[in-house]
């Protein structure tokens, strides 16, 4: 049995030995060109001309291209209005403008430095407040309305009216945007890309070159990290490389440097959320009026869907009877912000978690008490602001367990005693939650397909639309297939994701890559298994097959008693059995297909976007975290002393991989709310554009005491083997650290207000107020 076992990540040995092949590890093909990009020198304005004379004189430079060299220059996942290369209007600093092709990287580097771009500079917009004042929005969402907010606010015992800001975040994947384009015969193009969405990359390349889709194949072996940053924004860079490959009929390689990648690509959306909340003397929330604003950047990208998910998750894990939630995506002159792990969910949830801290301060209660009071119930108080009923809600029991196992009451007493000493350091303690909806909010994306081929030696090759970015999706699918056939996981090989084998696939995103693609793979396996069951049922019941008489696969009855166990196929009724490999050979000799293709769509989704009501998600992945921090009052330095996490992952397909996802997501979430600060100049230049200027968490930043545990939950029938998605939900638990910081500040000041990220500087300033 492979399900629920800790088998190794299928690329683990390759990663630690350095043998895993990434895009830039691919050996150069004869005649291959090196491709680079020059960005706009201003954040807003118009392109006047490009001077390439000096670059053209550099030996080895073979071509310089601008927007006019593309057949089609517009792209966009939702709204196709973003140029691949600047044609006229400039949207943001370092927006791709010129593409250079050279024989060597040395020649390319020299050429990129001497290209001159002349612009007419305009007046940029850099803040959400500026965009609000101009009413310049790329998208306005349909509001979520439930109950009577205005009346509930009027009658509330207490009201708070304030705003909450959270910053953006750099994806900081180890492998920058990378692609190799290979021209084939008859005008076809083969693309190898570090992309989470091979189908979109295929489509953008085809449009850019003026080709039909069937002339372009996009293949993804693996990515060196993605985190959402390669869901949409890998595609235009692939188009640039493909343009060069098509012009010269030579392979072309485009690998961005870390600096160029960070300057040219979008980030997590910064948000500024305005809200008014009403609550009782005990701290129970009775009304929430929230207006969410995101910094979308210059173009739409995925901003509308990200805003909607923020609206879906501003309730965090708490029931609110009366709500009015609006959302607007602000147009600014920053890089076009994009998908990032959590996809807007963190920006919504952390607003509510921070708000709970403020409510607790007003009513004079421990924030954990206020959280418990407002938590979604099991049979009552379980309707979301968008009308979905939360079923099988484990949060109340999870709360009891994590408060007990973390010894929260004892920790609170210790924090109180420590802070009373006033020794130059102050501690804070917080509990927070994740209740993350699993499904793409765009219903049509909840689909996938799989191709499974069984070979005569009993081994299996499988292809799905899932892309492997280090998260272990291929390993989970490998386990599902191995379990289905009763064979060892080592006998199953997941092939590179490619649009010629798996068409019209959705991006590997929304934490649903494992759910959708595992389900499709299992369906494909079941088709093959059914043929083998019929074959053996007839064989074991005396039917003979020869060169004259062929088997007919026309049996309609139940054959579940013929099982695939331990590399054998066994009739549990008659106790007859046959080795799996022999059964495969028998099927082949009788001309029975040993390949299976299947299509899967997530059932029972039905959210009405006009009414903003319905079943938006397939199910929820839940979690809770308790964190304790210590702050130096003289420097603002913060350390996480303890974090305890309790997750509901259903029946994990691979507990070890899931544990890695939980710990990694939490640390990344913690980084977003503490260290990771995007810094721009007054001209819109990203100053924190390298590992030396952008701070991600390191080993010293991890909690000194760090415990991750799972609950037992067998109720999730909406996913394969009753598992639950894990990629994004634990990210939101990083909010526990932010709330612990707010808690600590509240011991020293009357106002514990602080924006995210709570950097050391911001903490020090908050303590000084």
Beta-carbon contacts of residue 713 (< 8 Å; ≥ 6 apart)? 392, 394, 648, 649, 650, 651, 722, 724
728 is catalytic: yes
Listing DSSP states for 146-159 in one string gives: ES-HHHHHHH-SEE
Q: Which helix (H) or strand (E) holds 254?
A: strand 252-255
How is 162-225 classified by DSSP, letter by letter? EEEEE-------SS-SEEEEEE-GGG-EEEEE--S-HHHHHHHHHHHHT--GGGEEEEE---S-
- Burial (CB < 10 A; 0-12, 13-18, 19+), residue 634, is exposed
742/724 Cα distance (integer angstroms) = 31
| DSSP conformation class of 504 | S
Contacts of 719 (CB under 8 A, 6+ apart): 438, 515, 519, 618, 619, 650, 725
Q: Which of 95, 577, 676, 728 is catalytic?
A: 728
Q: How far apart are CA 319 and CA 29, in angstroms?
A: 58
Closest CA to 601 of 762, 399, 445: 445
DSSP string across 596-632: EEEEEE--S-EEETTTTEEE--SEEEEEEEEEEEEEE
Beta strands in 657-728 (DSSP E): 705-710
Structure-token match 């609206």, residue found: 311
**Bridging pattern class, strands 61-65 and 74-75:** unpaired
| Residue 414 burial (CB count, 10 A) | 14
Task: Report the sign of the C-alpha dihedral through residues 601, 602, 603, 609, in that order.
Answer: negative
Q: What sign has the CA pseudo-torsion 759, 762, 766, 767?
A: positive
Q: Are 630 and 425 in contact (CB under 8 A)?
A: yes
Q: What is the CA radius of gyration of the chain?
A: 28
Half-sphere CA count of 428, side-chain side, radius 13 A: 28
180-181-183-187 Cα dihedral, nearest 10 degrees? 160
Residue whose pair of structure tokens reads 């805003």 in the numeric block:
307
CB neighbours of residue 529 within 10 Å: 21
CA–CA distance, 70 with 283 (Å, rounded to integer): 59
Write b or e for each residue in 278-309: b if 16 or more Cβ atoms lie within 10 A of its Cβ, otherwise e.
Answer: bbeeebbbbbbbbbbbbbbbbbbbbbbbbbbb
Q: What is the DSSP string of 36-87?
A: EEEE-SSSSEEEEEEE-HHHHTSTTEEEEE-GGGSS--EE-SSS--EESS-S
Which helix (H) or strand (E) element contains residue 702?
A: none
d(CA 522, CA 73) in angstroms, rounded, equals 40
Element (H, E) at 570: strand 568-571
Q: State how far Cα 767 lies from the chain centre.
A: 34
Distance CA 262, CA 694 (A): 10
DSSP character at residue 302:
T
CB 395 within 8 A of CB 435: yes
Bond from prior residue into 757 cis (ω within 30 degrees of 0): yes
Give the C-alpha separation, 53 to 114, whole Å: 9
Catalytic residues: 728
């Amino acid at each position: 049995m492979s399900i629920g076992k800790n088998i190794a990540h299928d690329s683990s040995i390759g990663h630690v030995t350095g043998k895993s092949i990434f895009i830039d590890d691919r050996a150069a093909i004869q005649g291959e060109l090196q491709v680079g990009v020059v960005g706009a020198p201003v954040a807003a304005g118009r392109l006047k001309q490009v001077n390439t004379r000096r670059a053209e004189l550099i030996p080895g430079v073979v071509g310089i291209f601008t927007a006019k060299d593309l057949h089609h220059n517009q792209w966009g996942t939702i709204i196709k209005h973003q140029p691949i290369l600047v044609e006229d209007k400039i949207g943001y600093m370092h927006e791709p403008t010129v593409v250079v092709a050279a024989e060597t990287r040395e020649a390319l580097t020299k050429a990129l430095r001497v290209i001159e771009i002349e612009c007419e500079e305009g007046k940029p917009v850099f803040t959400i407040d500026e965009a609000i004042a101009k009413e310049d929005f790329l998208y306005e969402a349909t509001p979520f309305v439930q109950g009577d907010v205005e009346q509930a606010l009027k009658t509330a015992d207490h009201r708070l009216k304030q705003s909450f800001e959270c910053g953006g975040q750099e994806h900081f994947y180890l492998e920058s945007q990378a692609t190799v384009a290979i021209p084939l015969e008859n005008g076809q193009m083969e693309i190898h890309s570090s992309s989470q969405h091979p189908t979109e990359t295929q489509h953008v390349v085809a449009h850019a070159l003026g080709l039909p889709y069937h002339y372009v194949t996009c293949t993804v072996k693996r990515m060196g990290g993605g985190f959402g940053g390669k869901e949409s924004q890998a595609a235009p860079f692939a188009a640039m490389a493909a343009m060069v490959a098509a012009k010269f009929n030579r392979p072309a390689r485009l690998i961005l440097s870390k600096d160029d990648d960070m300057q040219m690509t979008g980030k997590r959306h910064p948000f500024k959320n305005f809200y008014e909340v009403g609550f009782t003397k005990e701290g129970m929330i009775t009304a929430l009026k929230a207006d969410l604003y995101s910094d979308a950047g210059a173009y739409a990208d995925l901003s509308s869907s990200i805003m909607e998910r923020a609206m879906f998750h501003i309730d965090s894990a708490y029931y609110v009877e009366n709500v009015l939630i609006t959302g607007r995506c602000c147009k600014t002159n920053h890089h076009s912000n994009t998908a990032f792990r959590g996809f807007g969910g963190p920006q919504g949830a952390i607003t509510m978690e921070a708000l709970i801290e403020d409510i607790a301060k007003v009513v004079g209660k421990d924030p954990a008490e206020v959280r418990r009071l407002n938590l979604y119930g099991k049979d009552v108080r379980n309707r979301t602001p968008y009308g979905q009923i939360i079923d099988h809600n484990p949060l109340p029991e999870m709360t009891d367990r994590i408060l007990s196992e973390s010894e929260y009451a004892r920790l609170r007493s210790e924090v109180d005693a420590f802070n009373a000493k006033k020794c130059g350091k102050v501690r804070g303690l917080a509990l927070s939650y994740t209740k993350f909806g699993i499904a793409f909010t765009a219903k049509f994306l909840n689909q996938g397909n799989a191709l499974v081929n069984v070979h005569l030696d009993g081994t299996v090759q499988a292809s799905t639309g899932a892309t492997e970015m280090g998260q272990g999706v291929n390993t989970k699918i490998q386990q599902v297939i191995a379990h289905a056939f009763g064979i060892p996981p080592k006998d199953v090989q997941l092939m590179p994701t490619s649009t010629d084998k798996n068409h019209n696939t959705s991006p590997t995103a929304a934490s649903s890559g494992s759910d959708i693609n595992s389900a499709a793979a299992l369906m494909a396996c079941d088709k093959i298994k059914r043929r083998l069951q019929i074959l053996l049922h007839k064989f074991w019941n005396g039917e003979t097959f020869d060169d004259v008489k062929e088997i007919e696969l026309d049996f309609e009855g139940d054959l579940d008693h013929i099982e695939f166990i331990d590399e054998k196929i066994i009739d549990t009724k008659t106790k007859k059995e046959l080795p799996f490999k022999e059964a495969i050979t028998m099927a082949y000799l009788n001309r029975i297909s040993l390949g299976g293709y299947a299509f899967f769509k997530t059932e029972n989704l039905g959210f009405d976007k006009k009414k903003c009501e319905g079943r938006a998600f397939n199910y929820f992945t839940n979690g809770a975290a308790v964190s304790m921090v210590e702050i130096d009052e003289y420097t603002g330095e913060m350390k996480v002393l303890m974090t305890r996490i309790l997750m509901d992952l259903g029946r994990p397909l691979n507990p070890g991989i899931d544990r890695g996802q939980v710990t990694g997501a939490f640390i990344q979430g913690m980084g977003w709310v503490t260290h990771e600060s995007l810094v721009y100049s007054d001209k819109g230049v990203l100053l924190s554009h390298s590992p030396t200027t952008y701070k991600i968490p390191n080993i010293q930043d991890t909690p000194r005491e760090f415990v991750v545990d799972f609950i037992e939950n067998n109720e999730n029938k909406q996913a394969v083997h009753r598992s639950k998605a894990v990629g994004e939900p634990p990210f939101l638990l990083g909010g526990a650290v932010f709330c612990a910081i707010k808690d600590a500040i509240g011991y020293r000041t009357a106002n514990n207000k602080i924006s995210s990220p709570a950097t050391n500087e911001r903490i020090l300033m908050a303590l000084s107020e």
